[in-house]
Structure 1
Amino acid sequence: MFITFEGIDGSGKSTQARLLAETLRKAGHEVVLTREPGGSPGAEEIRRLVLEGDPDRWSAETEILLFTAARRDHLERVIDPALAAGRIVISDRFADSTRMYQGLSRGDLRGLVDKLHALMIGREPDLTFIIDMDPETGLARAKGRGGTEERFEDFGADLQRRMRAGFLDLAREFPDRCLVIDGARAPEAVADEVAAIATRALG
């Protein structure tokens, strides 16, 4: 099974991805925990290009190409081999993030994202958890982490508000795989709900 976590910056999705991996491993499953952009050596190099530097460093169109290139390498080297070996793959972000951040952030480029995805990726997750969070709260949490990977946080609260609305729309667009989870609770409560849903989905 291929499980992804999505949401705005600071929503807690990375924490929830890690907690679910730990829970499923304790239950005896083989789990590969990965992330995007990144997850493979080549994709991690691209990650540094797109997440660091000035907000205007790249156009949205260039970002779409970079993210798709990173995702293709990640798919070839990590995701597909793990799934073929019968492992559960949990990814902190996947194509839905590109649909939102590049597809909506600076113009209506969703169609371009979807065309490239169909051409070069061709895979959707089996289950996607969208961790929902108030945009201002999420942005404050994300900025409070420090570090150098703050290029998208530097676009400000307006982008986070549009991304939240976009993720909620995405859940309505793909109801068979997307579930919205209230991320404004204690991490343990969120993790319990996520684990119960994932366990049921695994049968």
Structure 2
Amino acid sequence: MPGHFITVEGPDGSGKSTQARLLAEHLGAIYTREPGGTKLGEKLRNMVLDPNSEALSDHAEALMIAAARAQHVEEVVIPAIEQDKNVVSDRFIESSVAYQGYGRGLGPEKILEISLFATQNLQADLIVLIDIDAPLAANRRGKNLDRIEKAGDDFHSRVMDAYRMMASDDPGRWVVIDGSGTVNEVSRKVIAGVESRLGKHARD
């Protein structure tokens, strides 16, 4: 049986990166992230997120993330799944839909089309959303912000609203977790939510 592909989503400041790592550790899964996960992906990540980098157009941002994703899927995700390994990714397609589709206003349908081309139509088996209110997320982001984190409160509100809408529209594939607790509290909820969907046999 192929491995499970689980993605962890959420706005900046939600703690999703920490939760993705903890989930991967619990499951004995491969941990990876987007943009990134490969040498090319990490270079593109730095270009997209560096607050001091040359200003990118919204379209260029979306396509650079898609390029990183294409390499990530080809080099990391598909080989792991074909070897029956579980993969946990910090961000995937739904991040692009939320951030570039809704946040940047490029259109969710167009961003989804680009993303599915990049992933060869691969989608996550299960998506964990770390749901958090905007004021708490902003407080957690702090002051040392990357280029996208600096996009402003209205942008980040659109992103969170988009996540909630996607989760509501496809509840069978999403697990929504309240991210307002401590790291350990949220981790326990994430693990319980994933195991309730995939079963404890999801652990390697």
Q: TM-score, normalised by structure 2?
A: 0.90
**Would you say 1:17 and 2:20 are equivalent positions?**
yes
Q: Deviations over 1:118-176 (max 9, x none)?
A: 323211101111101111221221135x3xx6111111211111111111001012222
Q: Specify the code of the residue in structure 1 equivalent to 2:15.
A: G
1:202, CA displacement in angstroms? 3.1
**Would you say 1:5 and 2:4 are equivalent positions?**
no
1:181: which partner in 2? 177
CA distance in 2 between partners of 1:58 and 1:199 (Å): 40
**Would you say 1:57 and 2:55 are equivalent positions?**
yes
CA distance in 1 between partners of 2:53 and 2:99 (Å): 12
1:120 to 113, 118, 121: 118
CA distance in 2 between partners of 1:81 and 1:199 (Å): 23
Gaps of 5+ in 1: 26-30
Count how many residue pairs are aligned between Structure 1 and Structure 2. 195
1:103: which partner in 2? 101
1:74: which partner in 2? 72
Q: Equivalences for 1:181-200 in 2 at 5 Å? A: 181-200=177-196
Q: 34-43 or 104-113, which moves further after superposition?
A: 104-113
Does the CA-based 8 Å contact 1:95-1:117 persist in structure 2?
yes
SS in 2 for 1:4: strand
Gaps of 5+ in 2: 200-204
Q: 51-60 or 188-197, which moves further after superposition?
A: 51-60
1:136: which partner in 2? 135
Change (3 A) 1:193 1:174: same
Q: 93-102 or 135-144, which moves further after superposition?
A: 135-144
Does the CA-based 8 Å contact 2:175-2:193 persist in structure 1?
no
1:108, CA displacement in angstroms? 4.1
Q: Equivalences for 1:145-184 in 2 at 5 Å? A: 146=144, 150-184=146-180
2:85 to 87, 99, 102: 87
Change (3 A) 1:111 1:202: closer
CA distance in 1 between partners of 2:96 and 2:153 (Å): 18
Change (3 A) 1:83 1:201: same
Does the CA-based 8 Å contact 2:128-2:175 persist in structure 1?
yes
